[in-house]
């Protein structure tokens, strides 16, 4: 297993978000986590990605337990091994598209010229040729999410965590984004953990896990 979450519990004050949920992910696999609003699926993703530390339970990544790592080490893991796509607002508004994509590489200390070249290449691969210099405010919702996908994938992460990546898009744009995400992930062997409440989006995944009241229930079949 590349990533495993077991018996995860997490509460915020008196509100329980996770009550024993878990999920596994193998290399190159695309898994969708589905559930109604408030079921705990986003919290599960945040615990698996090391953004949140679970109250109890374990998270393992590449045979290494990561839930008990200090915040600094988890941050290091997120920037080197994971990529992220959120529903909206993830692009830095002051950076043009190409620099938004290149940002993870720049943060990792790559030379600027190389980072920008990689950014341009990913924009081209995702059908965003010619939009290098566009600011996020000048992009459509679908274009913004594709830039976000490029940014999540540019550093060749082991896992991409996508939290409602199509939540703000119409169905055509959503399908386009999902196709690109899954194709790109498969092409470079990246695993994807996808959180969504839309069956249409979940259908792009290899496997779906249903979360309800903070617990994972039986898998609902392969995509």
Partner 1 sequence: MNALVALRLAVAGGREQQFRRAFTATGVGVAGALLLLAFSAPNAAFGRAERVSWQDAATAVVDGEVADPPAEKRDGALFLAVSDYFAGTPMTRAYVAALGADPPVPPGIDRLPGPGEIAVSPAMRRLLAATPDDQLDDRFPGRDTMTIGPAGLAHDNELVAIIGRAPDELRDVRSVGEVHGFFRTAPRVGILSLQAAGIGVGTVLVLVPVLFLVVIVTRVAAGQQERRLASLRLVGATRAQTALVAATETGLAAGVGALLAWGGYEVGRRVLAATVVFQRGHFWPGDVAVPGWELAIVLVGLPAAAVATTLASLWHVQVSPLSVHRRVRRAPPTAWSALPLAIGVAGLLALVPLRDRRTAETLAQLRPVLALLTVAGVVLVGPWLCMLAARGVARVSRRAPALLAARRIAYDPRATFRAVAAVALAAMAAAYLGSTADRPGPPAGEEAKRIPPGVVRINTGGVPLDLPSAVRRVDSPDYDVPTDGSLAAENRVRTSVADRVPNAIVNTDRDPVDYHLETLFADFDRLGAVAALFVLLIGACGLTAGVIGGLAERRRPFALLRASGVRVGELRLVVLIETVATMLVTSLLGVGLGLVAAYATTRGAGLVWTGAGLPVLGAVGAGTLAALVFTLFALPLVGATTRHDAVRYE
Binding of residue 70 to partner 1 (CB under 8 A): no
Q: In the window 119-178, what residues touch partner 1 (CB under 8 A)?
A: 135
User: What's the min distance (Å) between Cβ of 125 and partner 1?
Assistant: 20
User: What's the min distance (Å) between Cβ of 205 and partner 1?
Assistant: 22
User: What's the min distance (Å) between Cβ of 92 and partner 1?
Assistant: 5
Tokens coding 151: 């940014």
Residue in 62, 107, 156, 187 binding partner 1, rule: CB under 8 A: 107
Binding of residue 84 to partner 1 (CB under 8 A): yes
Q: State the Cα–Cα distance between residues 65 and 98, nearest whole angstrom.
A: 35
Comparing CA positions, the residue from 3, 36, 41, 37 lying closest to residue 19 is: 41
Q: Contact 29/207 with Cβ under 8 angstroms?
A: yes
User: What's the min distance (Å) between Cβ of 223 and partner 1?
Assistant: 26
Q: Contact 143/175 with Cβ under 8 angstroms?
A: no
Binding of residue 55 to partner 1 (CB under 8 A): no
Q: State the Cα–Cα distance between residues 194 and 178, nearest whole angstrom.
A: 10
Binding of residue 190 to partner 1 (CB under 8 A): no
User: What's the min distance (Å) between Cβ of 157 and partner 1?
Assistant: 10
CA distances from 108 to 64, 74, 104 (A): 22, 15, 6
Q: Which residues contact 183 (CB under 8 A, 6 or more apart)?
A: none
Q: Is the Cβ of residue 158 or residue 207 nearer to partner 1 in the bound state?
A: 158
Binding of residue 72 to partner 1 (CB under 8 A): yes
User: What's the min distance (Å) between Cβ of 81 and partner 1?
Assistant: 9
Q: Contact 193/161 with Cβ under 8 angstroms?
A: yes
Residue in 86, 97, 185, 193 binding partner 1, rule: CB under 8 A: 86
CA atoms within 13 A on the CB side of 139: 30
Binding of residue 52 to partner 1 (CB under 8 A): yes
Please report the beta strands in 27-66, taking only residues with DSSP state E, as ranges in sequence order.
30-34, 56-61, 64-65
Which element (helix H / strand E) includes 199?
A: helix 199-202
Q: Is the Cβ of residue 37 or residue 222 nearer to partner 1 in the bound state?
A: 37
Residue in 18, 67, 90, 126 binding partner 1, rule: CB under 8 A: 90
Interacting span for partner 1 (CB under 8 A) from 45-53, 54-62, 186-194, 196-204: 45-53
**Tokens 């990544």 belong to which residue?**
61
Residues engaged in binding partner 1 (CB under 8 A): 42, 46, 49, 51-52, 72, 75-80, 82-84, 86, 89-96, 99, 103-104, 106-107, 111-112, 135
């Amino acid at each position: 297993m590349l990533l495993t979450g077991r018996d995860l519990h997490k509460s915020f004050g008196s509100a329980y978000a996770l009550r024993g949920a878990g999920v596994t992910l193998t290399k190159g696999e695309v898994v969708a986590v589905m559930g109604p609003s408030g079921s705990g699926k986003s919290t599960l993703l945040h615990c698996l990605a090391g953004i949140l530390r679970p109250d109890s339970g374990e998270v393992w990544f590449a045979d290494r337990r990561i839930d008990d790592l200090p915040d600094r080490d988890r941050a290091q893991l997120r920037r080197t091994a994971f990529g992220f796509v959120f529903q909206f607002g993830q692009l830095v508004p002051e950076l043009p598209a190409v620099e938004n994509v290149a940002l993870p590489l720049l943060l990792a200390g790559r030379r600027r010229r190389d980072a920008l070249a990689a950014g341009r290449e990913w924009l081209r691969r995702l059908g965003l040729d010619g939009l290098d210099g566009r600011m996020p405010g000048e992009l459509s919702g679908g274009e913004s999410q594709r830039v976000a996908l490029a940014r999540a994938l540019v550093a060749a992460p082991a896992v991409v965590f996508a939290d409602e990546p199509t939540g703000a898009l119409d169905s055509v744009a959503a399908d386009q984004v999902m196709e690109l995400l899954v194709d790109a992930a498969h092409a470079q062997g990246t695993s994807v953990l996808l959180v969504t409440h839309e069956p249409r989006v979940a259908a792009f995944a290899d496997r779906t896990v249903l979360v309800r009241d903070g617990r994972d229930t039986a898998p609902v079949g392969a995509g």
